[in-house]
Amino acid sequence: MQKDDGSGIIGNPIGREELIRQLKLEFIPYTPEELVDIANKEFAWCDAELLKASKEMGFGNNWKAAQEKVKNSYVPAGKQPEAMLELYNQSVDFLKKNDLVTIPPVAEETWRMTMMSPQQQLVSPFFLGGETLMISYPTDEMSYDDKLMSMRGNNPHFSRATVHHELIAGHHLQGFMNNRAKAYRDFGTPFWHEGNALYWEFILWDLNFPRGPEDRIGMLFWRMHRCARIIFFAELSFK
């Protein structure tokens, strides 16, 4: 096993040639450098939008203070499933109102919720989803600081993008249709699995699904997270 070099990241970089080979295998017509360039441009766009939202909230250019206020909008312990169901209903109503996608009635009826254990939350401090929406929120076994971090990181404004990403029209609807329509096409590429859910985040943003600056800050948090992932992964692969 490779030793920790001080970064806390253990693993062997695959190098540029191997990364290009894997991108071609997924039919992605970009070099790693081009993907990083796109991510940086998207990050700059997010920064500008974040400042707009911060100013609307009365914080000027102090976007960190605006984001801090958004983080503290969390619901009390025990109320998170109810809050996430409300966000789910809002997103499905929005999809139907704008006639964006056909939602089979059975798909609406067959998803369910479960709460993550403290151990799972160490790996996934936010959501996991598909047919089952897995919610991160405090349990009685967690320390006070861990409880507060879980609540702040899963506030309703941050979760506004992740609920429809995980359920409808994201992963749950994807899995539902993959299992029923030409199932032989479901070859498991992450560019389809995560790409389609991210596509719906973009569509709902463009159609004004966020109701105000707090929602926009919450959705931008995740959009910036996607940019950072690309930059981090590509540069780490060259290490």
pLDDT digits (tens, 9 = 90+) for 122-156: 889 998 989 999 999 999 999 999 999 999 999 99
Contact 50, 63 (CB under 8 A): yes
Q: Considering the domain boundaries, does residue 2 fall inside one?
A: no
Maximal C-alpha separation, the chain: 54
10's tokens: 């253990």
pLDDT value at position 2?
63
pLDDT value at position 181?
85
Going by the DSSP 8-state scheme, the letter that residue 185 receives in this structure is G
Residues 81 and 75: their CA atoms lie apart, in Å, by 10
Q: What are 34-59's pLDDT values in tens digits?
A: 999 999 999 999 999 999 999 999 99
* Ordered DSSP codes for 110-160: S-EEEEPPHHHHHH-SS-B-SSEEEE----TTS-HHHHHHHHHHT-HHHHH
Q: Considering the domain boundaries, does residue 95 fall inside one?
A: yes
Q: Considering the domain boundaries, does residue 23 fall inside one?
A: no
Domain count, the chain: 1
Q: Considering the domain boundaries, does residue 8 fall inside one?
A: no
Task: Choose among 72, 163, 167, 80: nearest CA to 116.
Answer: 80
pLDDT value at position 1?
56
Contact 170, 196 (CB under 8 A): yes
pLDDT value at position 238?
65
Q: Considering the domain boundaries, does residue 24 fall inside one?
A: no
CA angle 146/149/152 to nearest 5° reads 150
pLDDT value at position 91?
96
Q: Considering the domain boundaries, does residue 158 fall inside one?
A: yes
Predicted model pTM = 0.89
Q: Considering the domain boundaries, does residue 5 fall inside one?
A: no
Residues 190 and 174: their CA atoms lie apart, in Å, by 12
- The domain of 61 spans 33-238
| Chunked mean pLDDT (size 10), the chain, 239 residues | 67 84 90 93 97 98 97 95 96 97 96 94 90 94 94 96 94 92 77 90 96 97 93 75
Q: Considering the domain boundaries, does residue 4 fall inside one?
A: no
